[in-house]
Amino acid sequence: MSRKLNLISVIGTTGVGKSKLSVSLALALGGEIINGDSMQMYKGLDTMTNKHPLVERYGIEHHLLGHISDLNSQYTVKQFESEGEAAINKIVSEKGKLPILVGGTHYYIQSLLFKNMTVEAEKELNKEEAEFIESAETKAIFAKLSELDPVVAQKFHPKDRRKLVTALKICFTTGRKASEIYKEQRQPLTTQANENNDLLCRFRNLVFWVWCEPEVLDPRLDSRVDAMLERGNLLNEVRQMSDLYNSLDPKPSMESGVWQVIGFKEFLPYISTAAEQDKMAGLDEMKRTTRKYADTQVRWIRKKLLPLANDARKDMTIVILDATDLLKWKENVEDRAIQICHNFLAGKDIPIEAKSPKHLSHLLQLDDKHQSSTKTKWEPERWKHYECDICSIDGEKFVCIGEDNWNAHLRQRRHRQRVKRIKEHEAFERWKAEKAAATAATNE
């Protein structure tokens, strides 16, 4: 059995200094960097996508950074998986250097760290399928998915278009049930977690999670956005994108490819109106989206990566670095990371107390619901849909997925108040009817 290659990864939310740390590690340990941020793979848009400035890269080679020159091309996670693996192999075998993955986009990172995480499409969507997905109402999407794969349809909320579409696309492009594919992908994890974890991880992984307290990070993110607008090239980049967008027919979905980048949608109204209030609204919206994105990134680490790492056991070590106090960056982040890397590369295990500063050790604890990567993912018996006859949203019955959520809904104040109101109403109607009957009897 050949030994797995060592891979260092630097993850964490946007704006915590991942790029800076990865360059320091590369300088100290003789490494090269692989970009794992999907938006930074596009050429240009350097301000909007927060590309690490060239002068701050100190000559360290970066792979998969700005390598897609056609902004409207659809780069897939599958492409990233194979290009990323190729880059890592090249860095190690041809150059004898240490690969350092930095990012970014969680499903990209995940596809490279673990095997079997992405679904291979066997064919493209045909015209009819593509049109259906683009234009059908969510209700129709749900109905179609329920027809092709009733099991997986139950897993999602009937209004969760994004997830329904993903599953439907899998059914269309593989000609199989998405639920079967999901299940196959989970199964090896379960058995490997129990026996040997050889197949789960592609590499021997050391993952640095750069952490910053949200109350410190949020203002930092806000001022980064302000700076992009004041000094940076942000609006020029939005203009460049909007020119391209307007020239395209049909229009690409804003949920796909580069069009998802934070900043474009937000400033698009301003580009056409040039009204100061649209500029301010764009700024606020971009700050809000950026903070939300940071939350999503932390949630992915806590709920997805930690359970997977738990299953992967010794093939994956996650270490938290506290980047809250930038004045202590060198001792808390940089020097600590380099020291731990040396031990890791020497083949030593990282002791628990070195995995996080004491005050942050709770972040590495798995919560009850997410103990294992497998437990949360394949429980079709828990996906039963419950419709509430009393509560509705937009004129449709409120839907809960799974018994736990349903029971929680029954306990909710809003639901209980509605029940109470209906009961009172019924009692009143009964009283009215009885009274009418009594009056009628007296009148006879």
Residue ranges in contact with Zn ion by CB under 5 A: 388, 390-391, 415
Q: Which is nearer to Zn ion, 251 or 413 (CB)?
A: 413
Least distance to Zn ion from the beta carbon of 244, Å? 46
Residues 6+ apart with CB under 8 A from 328: none
Least distance to Zn ion from the beta carbon of 401, Å? 14
Which of these, 243, 234, 295, lies nearest to 262 by C-alpha position? 234
Least distance to Zn ion from the beta carbon of 391, Å? 3
Q: Which is nearer to Zn ion, 350 or 391 (CB)?
A: 391
- Determine contact, residues 29/242, Cβ cutoff 8 Å: no
Question: Is residue 231 exposed (0-12), middle (13-18) or buried (19+ Cβ within 10 Å)?
Answer: exposed
Least distance to Zn ion from the beta carbon of 403, Å? 15
| Residue-wise DSSP of 93-143 | HTT--EEEEE---HHHHHHHHBSS-SPPPSSPPPHHHHHHHHHS-HHHHHH
Least distance to Zn ion from the beta carbon of 419, Å? 8
Q: Which is nearer to Zn ion, 136 or 391 (CB)?
A: 391
Q: Which is nearer to Zn ion, 407 or 439 (CB)?
A: 407
Q: Which is nearer to Zn ion, 304 or 415 (CB)?
A: 415
Give dist(CA 343, CA 107) in Å, integer. 28
Q: Which is nearer to Zn ion, 23 or 388 (CB)?
A: 388
Alpha helices in 248-275 (DSSP H): 264-273
Q: Which is nearer to Zn ion, 121 or 390 (CB)?
A: 390
Q: Find the radius of gyration of the CA atoms of the chain.
A: 26
Per-residue DSSP letter, 3: P
Q: Classify 425 as helix, strand or coil.
A: helix
Question: Is residue 240 exposed (0-12), middle (13-18) or buried (19+ Cβ within 10 Å)?
Answer: middle
Least distance to Zn ion from the beta carbon of 415, Å? 4
Sheet holding 6-12, edge to edge: 62-63, 31-35, 98-102, 6-12, 204-211, 316-322
Maximum Cα–Cα distance across the chain: 105
Least distance to Zn ion from the beta carbon of 143, Å? 23
Q: Which is nearer to Zn ion, 331 or 387 (CB)?
A: 387
Least distance to Zn ion from the beta carbon of 414, Å? 7
Q: How many residues does the chain have?
A: 444
Least distance to Zn ion from the beta carbon of 409, Å? 6
- Neighbouring C-beta atoms of residue 198, cutoff 10 Å: 11
Q: Which is nearer to Zn ion, 157 or 415 (CB)?
A: 415
**φ and ψ of 397, to 5 deg:** -60, 140
